[in-house]
Amino acid sequence: MVHKTMPDKITFFERFEVDILSGKKTITIRDESERFYKVGSIVDVSTFEDNRHFAKIGIDSVSTLIFDELNARHAEQENMTLVELKSVISEIYPGVTQFYVIEFHLI
């Protein structure tokens, strides 16, 4: 069994920066490679494109989710419609069906 260290950084596409900073985006949905965030930890937030730091967030929860279980509440927490959310997730993670919902708050 490989032990993963707790991550101290997370990246988001630049297009999500305003929603994160305004508090409108309070979750992120990731694949299994990013399941190691721990509740109560504080992580640095940077842009995926150029690794520019723009915030710190506190991790409130990490839970599993199957793609078909995506609902209006998840969409609201992502600050988009359910159709948009399903489209974005499918674009970023084609063919993946199991995810990890990381709920967070801005520090």
SS3 72: helix
Q: Is 103 a catalytic residue?
A: no
Q: Is 38 a catalytic residue?
A: no
**Catalytic residue of the set 4, 32, 78, 97:** 78
**Cα–Cα distance for residue pair 93/14, rounded to 1 Å:** 17
**Catalytic residue of the set 14, 17, 25, 84:** 25
Q: Is 26 a catalytic residue?
A: no
Number of Cβ within 10 Å of residue 14's Cβ equals 13
Task: Say which DSSP state 96 is in.
Answer: -
- Show which residues are catalytic: 25, 28, 78
